[in-house]
Amino acid sequence: MFQLVVGVGNPGPQYAETKHNIAWMLLDQTPTFGNAIWKSKFKGEYAEASIKGNKFYALKPQTYMNLSGESVQPMANFFKIAPSEILVIHDELDIPFGQVHFKMGGGLAGHNGLKSIAACLGTDSFARMRIGIGRPPHGDVSNWVLGGFHGDQKIQLPLLIQKLHDPLVTAMVDGLNKVGIYNKKNLLA
């Protein structure tokens, strides 16, 4: 079970619908946290929800992606949440659009948000919900992740966000041992 779900992203309207903010889109639109009351604290916005009698927290750091740990670490300390009870949702270049992969710990894949969280927590032993955005066919990766969805992806994005709710709640409540049915599958098929 994961007590704290962290969606990494960038604050500001210019970033709201970018690929880098897909985690925030999920938290804002999922029934679990979408209707929750969000409060400002810990250099972020956080909300709480209850599922099956268990309390869960969601956090959207407002520090910009590269400093996400400055928000995660104080919140985890305040609520006495261990790194192993944290699930970080983030965009992933190396996974095709429409897929989600879960994993516990491991490499940071050059993701600056994950690097910041690992540095501030003093460990990389937290879980990840990696939402595929795919790699750009050509051009700069930075422009790709900070750009919006286009074409078929833009059309399919609302359905993908909806389809990501069940894997998220399953991971939160039952842990990573129950999310194998979603791993590396095209959720849009």
> Which of 137, 129, 146, 189 is closest to 19 using CA atoms?
146
Find out whether 141 and 133 touch, Cβ atoms under 8 Å: no
CB 44: neighbour CB atoms within 10 A?
Answer: 23
Please tell me which residue in 20, 90, 101, 111 is annotated as part of the active site.
20
- Cα–Cα distances in angstroms (integers) from residue 170 to residues 1, 27, 58, in the given order: 9, 15, 15
- 101 an active-site residue? no
Contacts of 28 (CB under 8 A, 6+ apart): 34
Find out whether 146 and 18 touch, Cβ atoms under 8 Å: yes
Catalytic residues: 20
